[in-house]
Amino acid sequence: MAEDTAVKTREQTGRAQVIRSTQCTVEVVSDSGEGAQKCGQTFGAVSAKMGNGVWTVEIIPAEIQPPPRSPAGASGNRIRIGERVVTNWGDRTNVCIAFNEQVLLARHRLDAIEDDAILLVENMWATHSDEDIRAEWTAAMEELGGAGYRIIEVPMEQECLTVVDNARKGKNMFALGILCWMFDRDMDLTREQIAHAFRKKAAEITERNHQLLELGYAWADENLDVRIDVRPGLSAENTLVMNGNQAAAFGAVAAGMEMAAMYPITPATSVSHQLGEIFYKFGGIVHQAEDEIAAVGVAIGASYSGKVAFTITSGPGLALKTEFLGLSVMAEIPLVVVDVQRGGPSTGLPTKVEQSDLLAALFGQPGDAPHVVMAPATIEECFHAMITARRIAETFRTLVVVMTDANLATGVQPFPRPTLDPAWQGSAPDMSAIPEGKPPYDWDEATGLSRRFIPGTPGGMHTLTGLAHDGNSRVAYASAINQKSSEMRSRKMAVLQSTLRPPEVYGAESGDLLVVGWGSTKGAIEEAVDRARAEGVSVSSLHLRFLSPMEPGLKAIFSRFKKVMTVEINYSDELDMPYITEENRRRGQLAWLLRAQTLVDVDCWTRVLGEPLRPGAIHDVIRSNVSKGGAA
Amino acid sequence: MSHSCSLLAPVDEDQEFHLDDYEGARARWCPGCGDHSVLTAAQRLLVDEQLKPEETVFVSGIGCSSRFPHYMKTYGFHGLHGRALPVATGIKLHRPDLNVFVVMGDGDCVSIGAGHWVHATRYNVDMVAMMLDNNIYGLTKMQTSPTTPQGYKSNTQPQGSWLPALNPIEATLGITNASFVAQTAEWIPAHLFATLQAAYRHNGFAFVRVLQRCPVFTADIYMDAVRNPEMIDMLDHPDGVPVPESLRQIYPNHLRHDPLNLSAARDLAADTSRIRLGVFFRDEGLPRYEETRHLPAHTADDKIRILNEELDQYAV
Ligand SMILES: Cc1ncc(C[n+]2csc(CCOP(=O)(O)OP(=O)(O)O)c2C)c(N)n1
Ligand SMILES: [Mg+2]
């Protein structure tokens, strides 16, 4: 390619400086509707295909149609690429390309940008006919200028108008061209990826986008003097790239489930969008119910009459489903619930990540309602968790809550393509005739397990009830019967726990500090542990996939560390706050559980900033905790 | 469905079911409770239709009336207050081969479960939904229900119910895609049976309001109507419920009403000066939600192949 040759020449003659880096975080931000997301997604996909590790997250404005050029309207993508696997969104952004200075300002004010970052910003606003806009530009550039970034003005509008009439619709591909030059992306792959992204549109659209891409590339080659070299160190072979909600949707299909009942709620809804596209091909149905209560009711009705069904929701919906979840436990109807957590309580932070539903998921149901709570830690695990959840739900006749969060839901990452196993589909439920006299809750004394009687099965007629009942499913208020049936339902959790393996410690088996996490924070925690260990800090981490029942051996593992603390995305008090004492301190939700479970004095560090934890922040926490307590 | 019962069931196809084949636990409603009569009618219907007990599910909520499934010897689902309809919808969507009956109280159906009543009506999934309307909360001991007559005293409104009673027939007729709306009374067994049978045979969601006496809390509400058949108009039509022969003399007021005529149905329902029994509306031409469910006959291997094709689109 001519351009490539030109660039090489430029590098050779020393006109472009090349910064070599093991990883780099890039943001593309615009007003919503200007296509920054498509630009970012394409950049991420091309990087994955080239063999870079990639983690992409969307930057979503809280409103559907925020006013243009407002900091609240910043919309786009953040793409972190690395030489090796990237497990989290990283710290601050190294390169940002913005379609106006206001959205850039928003990122700056959110402390999203690294001190020495390179910022590329559309400069049409500097000379805009509207005086107010020019003033905004000046003020913003002054604020940004004070921060020490390297700011490069880009005449996006002017350049794009040479190819399109409406530059608003073209800047994203122009920006992609700039990024492709800066990161030396494979241009054939990029053109292919664009063609794929616009495959449903007219051929001219792809062609025009290719032109804009070339234009951006050429502009960068002409005008920029810095390139960033993040070498692809992975094989892209046999890899899938998708977000956690898509992975959960595909996992549900792979698990042979056929009914998803839901009511739209961010950030869970897109599971149903994905299923809506494909489920019917497998005989599956996405039922959009009139509300969350109906959704779980439909799922329970379906589960009761055959293969287990599932419902997808987020915090407010989980709250509405509570009564039915208790019924599922009481009547031992298998059910899978996916809770894609967002910020709470109440409507909270609909699009933002939090891990604050843990205790609600575990204990939200009135009465004693033992059930299973699992938390996939990666996007890949979102797929596999659905298969595990179905199997546990049916084997143990129980409720399984699978907890993901907005970080997993919207993060996009390549992961090894699973080898699909037909056995995951499960066999048809046992509908062979029931021998006379066999009760519908024929609890095995030791395990509490019993066979499900599914409608259609001869000889199995009985009435299931959410009232206290004996083995024959007869309503029973006798105290001994309630004690017994409670025991049987609880026993199943112990039996499941006996089949779980102790969790693996990441890092050394003993040391000064053990950081314990759950859910989407795994990548950030382990990256922080790696950084600290590289400095000689004695720290390891542990990640839990089962929160109920808990994986075995925790107390023994904890005993090998001087200090144990959780790192979570939920709220906790800190001891230096007014009124807060050891006695009244409210701790992180996992810390709360672990203290109760192990009697170990588990500390915690938690934040509810509406964003995933940054590995750098966890790294700081590790350092201060080891120098403070553990190592002493 | 893969687990179609005819393959597995060692049932003799010629087996004939009798009343006792449908009789579950002994009914524990109060003596004189109208629910007994509905139970008998339902059991008679199952005999008449020769429904296999194991292929029939009675779903209920919580309330006196919701004890119903325990007294049937079919599959039963005695779930949550107000939530029978979603459960029944899930069962029927997953297992269209099953016969699904829903039994609700008035509180169950038009108060706590009102949202589900509206939407189940619109979904028009093939099932029979009975609302046993005693105009009161029975199980929790006499609190006002949406259908309690205005001025009627209860434990929560001892000065009398403030508001005019909700009219469940008129309201159901107002719901888009309602396909079968009928009213009957438990003290007229022949009409009750004929109405349930028409509901069962209807292809779609059949809503039946059963006027039901509660001898303990609302004994007086239907007293006059029971004693005086003159107060009742029987809706009469071959496409609805023709007035049973045995009742033609006792109930002299017959109104010829074509159940396809929705606006006439709404007028008849809105006029509460008379008690009207029969089929107000019936249209089998309306879309049924379960028709959206297609069940391609795939083996597990087929599904894996299709899924792999889908995943190819996400391959790096
Ligand atoms: C969520 C919930 N709220 C309240 C109750 C208490 N409760 C049980 S039955 C009932 C009302 C029963 O009235 P109705 O539905 O008319 O049935 P009936 O007993 O009259 O047949 C109530 C309020 C409950 N079981 N669950
Ligand atoms: Mg009632």
pLDDT band at A11 (very low <50, low <70, confident <90, very high): low
- Top residue of A303, A417, A461 to mutate, by most chain B CBs within 10 Å, is A461
A384: which 2 tokens?
Answer: 């596999």
Q: Residue range A13-38: average pLDDT?
A: 91
pLDDT at residue A167, rounded to an integer:
85
- A414 contacts in chain B (CB < 8 Å): 316
DSSP state of A593: H
- In this predicted structure, which of A565-569, B4-8, B270-274 has the lowest mean pLDDT? B4-8
Cβ atoms B310, A278 nearer than 8 A? yes
Instruction: Please name which of B125, B85, B123, B121 lies closest in space to residue B103, comparing C-alpha atoms.
Output: B85
Q: Which pair of structure tokens corresponds to residue A67?
A: 């006013």
User: What CATH number should be reported for the domain whose range is A505-628?
Assistant: 3.40.50.920
- Under the banding of pLDDT at 50, 70 and 90, the label for residue A14 is low
Domain B2-291 bears CATH identifier 3.40.50.970: yes
Task: Please report where in the chains the tokens 């009697």 appear, as a residue.
Answer: A599
Query: Residue B195 has which token pair?
Result: 């109405």
Cα–Cα distances in angstroms (integers) from residue B28 to residues B25, B33, B36, in the given order? 9, 10, 9
Distance of alpha carbon A540 from alpha carbon A549, whole angstroms = 23
Q: Report pLDDT digits (tens) over A293-334.
A: 999 999 999 999 999 999 999 999 999 999 999 999 999 999
For residue A50, give the nearest of A235, A182, A178 by alpha carbon. Answer: A235
Position A389: which residue type?
A
Question: Which chain A residues in 241-260 lie under 8 Å from chain B, judged by CB atoms?
Answer: 241-242, 246, 250, 253-254, 256, 258-259
pLDDT of the residue at A4: 43
In chain A, where the domains are located: 8-236, 240-425, 505-628
Sequence-ordered list of residues with C-beta below 8 angstroms from that of B220, at least 6 positions apart, any chain: none
Residue pLDDT, tens place only, B161-201? 999 999 999 999 999 999 999 999 999 999 999 999 999 99
> Judged by CB atoms within 8 Å, which residues 56-115 of B form the interface with A?
57-59, 62, 69-70, 72-80, 83, 85-95, 97-98, 115
pLDDT number for residue A7: 46
Please state, in angstroms and rounded to a whole number, the distance separating the CA atoms of residues A194 and A26. Answer: 19
Q: Which CATH number among 3.30.990.10, 3.30.465.10, 3.40.920.10, 3.40.640.10 corresponds to the domain A8-236?
A: 3.40.920.10
Q: Is the pLDDT of residue B5 over 60?
A: no
Query: What is the crossing angle of helices A171-182 and A36-50, to 10°?
Result: 30
Does residue A462 belong to the interface with chain B, where contact is any CB pair within 8 Å? yes
Confidence label for A13 from pLDDT (cuts 50, 70 and 90): low
Q: Report pLDDT for A55.
A: 96
For chain A, positions 13-72, list CB contacts with chain B under 8 A. 45, 48-49
Residues 6+ apart with CB under 8 A from A437: none
Starting at the edge strand found earlier in the chain, the sheet holding A463-465 runs A463-465, B75-78, B56-60, B99-105, B127-133, B205-211, B180-185, B275-282, B232-236, B254-256
pLDDT tens per residue across span A577-617: 999 999 999 999 999 999 999 999 999 999 999 999 999 99
In sequence order, what E strands does chain B have? 56-60, 75-78, 99-105, 127-133, 136-137, 143-144, 180-185, 205-211, 232-236, 254-256, 275-282
Q: Is the pLDDT of residue A44 over 70?
A: yes
Please check the confidence at residue A632 and state whether its pLDDT lies above 60. Answer: no
User: Contact at 8 Å (CB) between A125 and A137?
Assistant: yes
pLDDT at B64 exceeding the cut of 90: yes
Question: What's the pLDDT tens digit per position in A237-282?
Answer: 899 999 999 999 999 999 999 999 999 999 999 999 999 999 999 9
Mutate to test the interface with A, among B5, B17, B94 (most CBs of A within 10 A): B94
Beta bridge partner(s), residue A206? none
Find out whether A386 and A254 touch, Cβ atoms under 8 Å: yes
CATH of domain A240-425: 3.40.50.970
pLDDT, average across residues A71-93? 94
B283 by DSSP, 3-state: which? coil
- Chain B residues close to A281, C-beta within 8 Å: 296, 306, 310
Instruction: Average the pLDDT over each of A107-111, A628-632, B17-21, B120-124 and give the range with the smallest value.
Output: A628-632
pLDDT bucket at B2, cuts 50 / 70 / 90: very low
pLDDT at residue A12, as a whole number: 55
- For A471-485, write each residue's pLDDT tens digit: 999 999 898 999 999
Distance from the CA of B153 to the center of ligand 2, in angstroms?
15
pTM above 0.90, yes or no: yes
For residue range A389-442, what is the model confidence (pLDDT) as tens digits? 999 999 999 999 999 999 999 999 999 999 999 999 988 889 999 999 999 999
**Interchain proximity A287–B93, CB inside 8 Å:** yes
Residue pair B5/A431 in contact (Cβ under 8 Å)? The answer is yes
Contacts 24+ apart (CB under 8 A), B237-242: B237/B278, B237/B279, B239/B279, B239/B282, B240/B182, B240/B198, B240/B278, B240/B279, B240/B282, B241/B182, B241/B184, B241/B191, B241/B194, B241/B195, B241/B198, B241/B278, B241/B279, B242/B194
Using the Cβ of A464 and the Cβ atoms of chain B, whether some distance falls under 8 Å is answered with yes
Residues 6+ apart with CB under 8 A from B188: B247, B251, B277
pLDDT digits (tens, 9 = 90+) for B216-274: 999 999 999 999 999 999 999 999 999 999 999 999 999 999 999 999 999 999 999 99
Residue B103 CA, ligand 1 centroid: distance in Å: 13
pLDDT score of A64: 72
Q: Which residue's alpha carbon is nearest to atom 23 within ligand 1?
A: B140
Tokens matching residue A386: 């659905």
Q: Is the pLDDT of residue A16 over 80?
A: yes
Average pLDDT, rounded, for chain B: 94
* Chain-chain contact of A285 with B69 (C-beta, under 8 angstroms): no
Q: What mean pLDDT do residues A357-378 have?
A: 98
Here the tokens at position A122 are: 């559309």
Among protein residues, the one with the nearest Cα to ligand 1's atom 7 is B140
Instruction: Map out the domains of chain B as residue ranges.
Output: 2-291
Radius of gyration of chain A (CA): 27
Mean pLDDT of the region B131-160: 98
Tally of CA atoms within 13 A in the half-sphere of A409 that contains its CB: 32
pLDDT of the residue at B296: 75
Per-residue pLDDT, A2: 39
- Whether the CB-CB separation of B90 and B57 falls below 8 Å is answered with no
Sheet holding A539-544, edge to edge: A505-506, A539-544, A511-518, A561-568, A603-606
Task: Please answer whether residues B160 and B128 qualify as being in contact, where contact means their C-beta atoms are separated by less than 8 angstroms.
Answer: no
At A196, is the secondary structure helix, strand, or coil?
helix
Q: How confident is the model at residue A630 (pLDDT cuts 50, 70, 90)?
A: very low
Residues in chain A within 8 Å Cβ distance of B78? 463-467
Give the lowest-confidence range in A8-17, A196-205, A529-538, B3-12.
Answer: B3-12
Domains A240-425 and A505-628 share a fold: yes
Print burial letters for A392-407: b (CB count within 10 Å at least 16), e (below 16).
bbbebbbbbbbbbbbb
CA A60 to chain centre: 14
CA of A519 vs chain B CAs: smallest distance (Å): 23
In this prediction, residues A510-536 reach a mean pLDDT of 98
Choose the closest CB to B76 out of A280, A420, A463: A463
pLDDT at B3 over 70: no
CB of B218 shorter than 6 A to ligand 1: no
- Could you tell me the CA-to-CA distances from A9 to A6, A187, A307, A341 in Å, in that order? 5, 18, 63, 50
Length of chain B as a residue count:
316
Q: How confident is the model at residue A182 (pLDDT cuts 50, 70, 90)?
A: very high
> Mapping DSSP to helix (H, G, I), strand (E, B) and coil, where does residue A607 land?
coil
